[in-house]
Amino acid sequence: MLLHAAHRPHIKLFILIGMTTGARRGAILDLAWTRVNLDEGVIDFHYPNKFITKKCRSVVPIRQKLFTALREAKSMATTTSVIEWNGKPVKSIKTAFQKTTDRAGLPWCSPHVLKHTAITWLAKKGWSIEEIAEFTETSTER
């Protein structure tokens, strides 16, 4: 529903990356094409030379639907940033995301819900809590 409400390619790609990788908003917006390896089928969300916080970033496999979208986006890319709009890297997704969630009838939805969606899908596929935590770089502790 949310993906179908995304009318612009940058927001559609942002949502797809979030829903299939469990990456946080900042990690997706910081993502550069140099860290997307389509040959090996992985995305490295580690940001070089960035201070490490408790919100770790991981290396994740690229699912088929995301692979197709990334390949298409890369062929049209005009910057080094994966999420770009009008020839510039996207610094904030807030307005586009809000318009998309409103169109989808989900005005309460935030970008972090994409991470929750990814975690839910992995759990439904039978992944253990530990496997999900490792994949999404999420702590199992409260």
As a whole number of angstroms, the distance between CA 82 and CA 88 comes to: 10
Residue 65 maps to a domain: yes
As a whole number of angstroms, the distance between CA 17 and CA 28 comes to: 7
pLDDT of 119 reads 86
Which percentage of the chain shows pLDDT scores above 90?
Answer: 62
Residue 73 maps to a domain: yes
Q: Which residue has the higher pLDDT, 28 or 140?
A: 28
pLDDT range class, residue 139, cuts 50, 70, 90: low
pLDDT of 50 reads 60
- Please identify which residue in the block is written with the tokens 């690229």: 62
Residue 77 has pLDDT above 80, yes or no: yes
- Burial class from Cβ neighbours inside 10 Å (0-12, 13-18, 19+) for residue 20 reads buried
CB 97 within 8 A of CB 14: yes
Task: Compute the average pLDDT of residues 37-57.
Answer: 76
Residue 142 maps to a domain: no
List the alpha helices (DSSP H) in the chain: 2-5, 9-21, 25-29, 64-76, 94-103, 112-124, 129-136
Distances from the Cα of 47 to the Cα of 23, 36, 52, 117, 131, angstroms: 13, 12, 9, 23, 22
Mean pLDDT in the chain? 89
**CATH number, domain containing residue 42:** 1.10.443.10
Residue 141 maps to a domain: no
As a whole number of angstroms, the distance between CA 141 and CA 119 comes to: 15
Residue 59 maps to a domain: yes
pLDDT of 68 reads 97
Structural domain count, the chain: 1
Show the domain range for 129.
Answer: 2-136
Q: 33 in helix, strand or coil?
A: helix
Residue 72 maps to a domain: yes
Full-model pTM: 0.86
pLDDT (tens digit per residue) in 58-74: 788 999 999 999 999 99
Torsion on CA atoms 133, 136, 137, 142, rounded to nearest 10: -50
